[in-house]
Structure 1
Amino acid sequence: MIKKIYPLLLVALSAVSSHAQQFKALLFTKTAGFHHTSIHEGVDGVRNLAARHNFTVDWQEDPSVFNEQRLKAFDVVIFLNTTGDILNAEQQTAFEKYIQSGKGWVGIHAAADTEYDWAWYTKLVGMMFYTHPAQQTAYLDVVNSNFPGLERFPKRMLWTDEWYEYQKPYKSDDLKFLITLDEKTYNPKTSKGNGMGDVHPIAWYHPYDGGRAFYTGLGHIGMVYSDQSFLDHLYGGIFWAATGKGVK
């Protein structure tokens, strides 16, 4: 009898092992300001990445998940087009401790339009949203391809999105720019700004307060969440933020 059970046990253990997940991500999409209709496409996109790359994703809009005990279950927190004041003081403290414990954060597009009065979060993001012109097509330039997800991203690429101009100043010695925007290829002028000049970052990463932070300004238009170049770029950021791996 034991001889019959043993092979079955091995098969069961093999099945569990084959379905083990690399890491666990919290996908947070709460908005207290502008609500992007692309959030649902974004959720689908991240879920597809999880299925493709063997990680777990838990989608939440309830900020009560930001407590010390519940956050311990996650390796990375993803802010997908969040806006406004979305966490109270207790939840902010729990998230700070989470990053300080060595975990990661990923911000997509309007994550830079979130929690302006929280100085720690501003430093986590790196640069906060200031203004944007109408959606336009422009050229992106990869300035650092030594980062996961950018191996197949063209050095220069035509892209259509909503181009954020970010607030200044920023800590250029801290942020490691990955992709910049060529302002000569579109009209950056708005009633509030004239663009950022010769260096207009649109994606970056940096170690922060014991943990890791990755941000991409791409991701306003829903269709980008089915674009393979963007998905490679996004997963690279998620992978690095969750594991700390991938940078040579």
Structure 2
Amino acid sequence: MKNFFLLLNFIFLPLIMMADNGLPVKPRILVFSKTAGFRHSSIPTGKAAILKLGKEHNFDVDTTENAAVFNEKTLKKYAAVVFLQTTGNILNDQQKASFEKYIKSGGGFAGIHAATDTEYEWPWYGKLVGAYFVSHPAQQVATLNVTDRSHRSTKHLPAIWERKDEWYNFKNIGDDLKVLITIDENSYKGGINGAVHPMAWYHEYDGGRAWYTELGHTEESYTDPNYLEHLLGGIQYAISGN
């Protein structure tokens, strides 16, 4: 028994000392990519890219498509939850309640591309992610306007950013969103949101933080340095303060 308590001290004392000294504890995030609708071929590439970002920028990454992890005990381990290309109805009522409690307790959320094509019948989630997907034209090159270059996810980007991706049209766009990037509908065919067509945004919501980027449909996105820095900044914002 004495040796058992010595072992516990050996394991936990360094962590206690780190907290007492104000040293940062390495954050851990959950990347969730369950799909109940369209499944993006870029999901494996996206997972690999976020795992690599974690190794390079000092945060741990768990990946799963098992919705059972959405319980209060498990979610407490994570500084942020990333919905990577999720689609459809992916959580049951108990799992939804646990995720709501997680955000209300100060948790962070980052949504990537099809995260807005998720849980249309869950109004709380719609407000968290900021909008719902309604349609998209064919993939094509378009001009993005980086309207806020002070945020950690956009400060590295040019004011005008041209790239090829799949461009979503949205409905139920939140009026509290802090828009980071808009798309110029005159630069491509198929936009329906008008002069202010948001593509990336963030906001504080119901006690937590949420960041979303529409960008990231293509596999090529996850080898694009500008996009990866954009994604990293969004994840870091979701982690911050938790």
TM-score (norm 1): 0.87
In the TM superposition, what is the alpha-carbon distance from 1:106 to its structure 2 partner? 0.3
> Could you list the runs of 5+ residues in structure 2 that have no partner in the other structure?
1-9, 19-23
Q: Which runs of 4+ in 1 moved over 6 A?
A: none
Distance 1:71 1:58 in 2: 11
In the TM superposition, what is the alpha-carbon distance from 1:149 to its structure 2 partner? 2.7
Distance 1:243 1:110 in 2: 23
* Conserved? CA contact 2:149–2:156, under 8 Å: no
The alignment partner of 1:33 has SS state of coil
Match of 1:62 in 2: 66
Kindly provide the CA deviation profile for residues 95-153 of structure 1, in whole angstroms up to 9, marking residues without a partner as x. Answer: 00000000100000000000000010000011100000000100111001111132211
Q: 2:207 aligns with which of 186, 210, 224?
A: 210
Distance 1:223 1:52 in 2: 20
Distance 2:241 2:220 in 1: 29
Match of 1:191 in 2: none
1:235 corresponds to 2:235 = no
Q: Where in structure 2 are the equivalents of 1:166-245 lying within 5 Å? A: 166-168=170-172, 170-172=173-175, 174-188=176-190, 195-244=192-241
Distance 1:156 1:196 in 2: 19
Distance 2:144 2:59 in 1: 29
> Could you list the runs of 5+ residues in structure 1 that have no partner in the other structure?
1-8, 189-193
Distance 1:109 1:100 in 2: 24
Kindly provide the CA deviation profile for residues 227-246 of structure 1, in whole angstroms up to 9, marking residues without a partner as x. Answer: 1101111111100111149x
1:35 corresponds to 2:39 = yes
The alignment partner of 2:209 has SS state of strand
Amino acid at match of 1:145: R
Q: How many residue pairs align between the two structures?
A: 223
1:128 corresponds to 2:136 = no
Kindly provide the CA deviation profile for residues 175-210 of structure 1, in whole angstroms up to 9, marking residues without a partner as x. Answer: 00000001100001xxxxx51110110000000000
Match of 1:150 in 2: 154
TM-score (norm 2): 0.89
* Conserved? CA contact 2:79–2:108, under 8 Å: yes
Distance 1:185 1:219 in 2: 19
User: For the aligned residues, what is the CA RMSD?
Assistant: 1.7
Kindly provide the CA deviation profile for residues 21-56 of structure 1, in whole angstroms up to 9, marking residues without a partner as x. Answer: 631100000000000000000001101110110100
The alignment partner of 1:179 has SS state of strand
In the TM superposition, what is the alpha-carbon distance from 1:171 to its structure 2 partner? 2.8
Q: Where in structure 2 are the equivalents of 1:90-109 lying within 5 Å? A: 90-109=94-113
Match of 1:6 in 2: none
Distance 1:22 1:142 in 2: 31
Amino acid at match of 2:160: R
Identity of aligned residues (%): 50
Distance 2:229 2:209 in 1: 19
